């Protein structure tokens, strides 16, 4: 009778078969009934333990391989090396390198592992080829997870990317960059005069708003307001010298005005640069009494007092209309305008 699988007999006339030795298999590849007379060495990619079941070699499992013959156990199968994967059983060599953009540790079973045990996506700041870390991301570019090129993503405008950048770094507030591919912080330029660069990552400066001025490096639209007593109706002012004095007859009470707050209060006069409706404040920080003086009247929005007309006088300050000027007393002649007291008047001629 032929020897069953896993056994052999190399001598004639024997009643029993011998067990296949470790590292060999005993399989008959012929159709005759002679059985196996000589053990065959275990092939590459397999191992053959003692008394291999049915005489069949056992394949090295996925994640391993064997380029040697005669293995006795699974422990002798080689672990799939870094950068490669072993995707099936019974391999005599690795299946091949892992996919671009992936990092393969040992014993990988797929070309794109993400289990963090046998492999992962290429880490940020680097690029990976053939399952290995190939190098850092190039200057002027950034590399997110899974990059396969040192120039994976061009650094956007408003940012800069040194060598090995995982994420673009923003230009700081008050600076900008309108070009792509910056590689260092010095590529971020100070915001130009007449503009502001608010927040981080500015690619295009914005025009300075009315009521304000913007020197170089301005980081907020309201950072430099025109002072009280001034206004600026136009955009793009570069210095406080371009803030215009509040016009005569008007007052500018607050910071950052694009137009006067309002007209001067009746009974008062407001010179240029006034900060209050009664003209008591000025852009130069001076104070004074700008109530309309005796002998004059001051309608709303007047810059300078108007004299009471000839034939009238006024000894009271704060008049707002000409009708409040008093008529010259009988027998007196108020010849000059802006008279304050009847004593200044001349006597009328007799008759």
The Cα–Cα gap between 142 and 75 comes to 43
pLDDT band at 304 (very low <50, low <70, confident <90, very high): confident
The Cα–Cα gap between 306 and 316 comes to 14
Give 306-338 pLDDT, tens digit per residue: 999 998 989 899 898 999 999 988 888 888 898
Higher pLDDT, 116 or 8: 116
Alpha carbon dihedral 255, 292, 286, 230, in 10-degree steps, equals 30
- SS3 of residue 61 by DSSP: coil
Give the Cα-Cα-Cα angle 227, 233, 236 (nearest 5 degrees).
85
* Contact between residue 147 and residue 133 where contact means Cβ atoms under 8 Å apart: no
The set of residues, in sequence order, having a beta carbon less than 8 Å from that of 268 and lying 6+ positions away, is: 277, 278, 279, 290, 291, 292, 298, 318
The Cα–Cα gap between 187 and 181 comes to 10
CA distances 58 to 2, 110, 129, 225, 336, Å, are 23, 21, 33, 84, 130
The Cα–Cα gap between 194 and 177 comes to 16
- Helices (H) and strands (E) in the chain — how many of each? 0, 32
The Cα–Cα gap between 346 and 100 comes to 110
Q: Does the predicted model carry a pTM greater than 0.85?
A: no
pLDDT higher than threshold 90 for residue 214: yes
List the structure tokens of 150. Answer: 């040192």
Q: What DSSP line would sit under 25-86, residue for residue?
A: E----SSSS---SS-EEPPTTEE--TT-GGGPPEEPPTTEE--SS---SGGGSEEPPTTEE-
The Cα–Cα gap between 117 and 337 comes to 102
Distance, C-alpha 96 to centroid of its chain: 40
What integer is the mean pLDDT of 265-287?
78
* Contact between residue 306 and residue 322 where contact means Cβ atoms under 8 Å apart: yes
Give 47-72 pLDDT, tens digit per residue: 988 765 556 889 999 999 999 999 99
Burial label for 346, CB within 10 Å (0-12, 13-18, 19+), is exposed
The Cα–Cα gap between 318 and 296 comes to 8
* Contact between residue 171 and residue 177 where contact means Cβ atoms under 8 Å apart: yes
Scanning the structure block, which residue is given the tokens 């001067």?
264
Give 22-31 pLDDT, tens digit per residue: 888 887 665 5
Cβ atoms < 10 Å from Cβ of 223: 16
pLDDT higher than threshold 80 for residue 222: yes
| Domain extent listing, the chain | 307-351
């Amino acid at each position: 009778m032929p020897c069953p699988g896993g056994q052999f007999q190399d001598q004639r006339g024997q009643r029993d078969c011998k067990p296949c030795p470790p590292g060999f298999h005993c399989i008959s590849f012929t159709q005759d009934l002679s059985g196996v007379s000589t053990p065959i060495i275990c092939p590459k990619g397999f191992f053959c333990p003692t008394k291999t079941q049915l005489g069949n070699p056992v394949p090295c499992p996925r994640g391993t391989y064997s380029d040697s013959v005669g293995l006795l156990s699974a422990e002798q199968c080689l672990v799939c090396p870094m950068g490669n994967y072993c995707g099936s059983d019974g391999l005599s060599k690795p299946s091949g390198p892992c996919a671009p953009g992936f990092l393969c540790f040992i014993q990988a079973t797929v070309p794109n592992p993400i289990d963090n045990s046998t492999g992962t996506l290429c880490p940020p700041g680097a690029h990976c080829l053939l399952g290995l870390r190939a190098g850092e991301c190039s200057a002027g570019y950034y590399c997110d997870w899974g990059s396969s090129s040192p120039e994976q993503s061009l650094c956007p405008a408003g940012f800069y990317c040194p060598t090995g950048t995982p994420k673009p770094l923003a230009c700081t507030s008050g600076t900008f960059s309108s070009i792509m591919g910056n590689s260092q912080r010095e590529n971020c330029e100070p915001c130009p005069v007449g503009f502001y660069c608010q927040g981080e990552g500015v690619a295009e400066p914005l025009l300075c708003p009315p009521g304000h001025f913007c020197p170089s490096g301005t980081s907020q639209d309201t950072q430099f307001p025109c002072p009280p007593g001034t206004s600026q109706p136009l955009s793009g002012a570069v210095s406080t010298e371009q803030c215009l004095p509040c016009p005569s007859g008007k007052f500018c009470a607050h910071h950052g005005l694009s137009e006067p707050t309002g007209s001067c209060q009746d009974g008062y006069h407001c010179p240029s640069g006034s900060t209050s409706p009664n003209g008591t404040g000025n852009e130069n920080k001076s104070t004074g009494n700008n109530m309309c003086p005796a002998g004059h009247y001051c309608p709303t929005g007047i810059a300078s007092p108007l004299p009471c007309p000839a034939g009238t006088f006024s000894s009271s300050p704060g008049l707002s209309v000409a009708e409040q000027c008093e008529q010259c007393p009988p027998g007196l002649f108020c010849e000059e305008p802006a008279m304050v007291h009847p004593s200044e008047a001349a006597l009328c001629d007799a008759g």
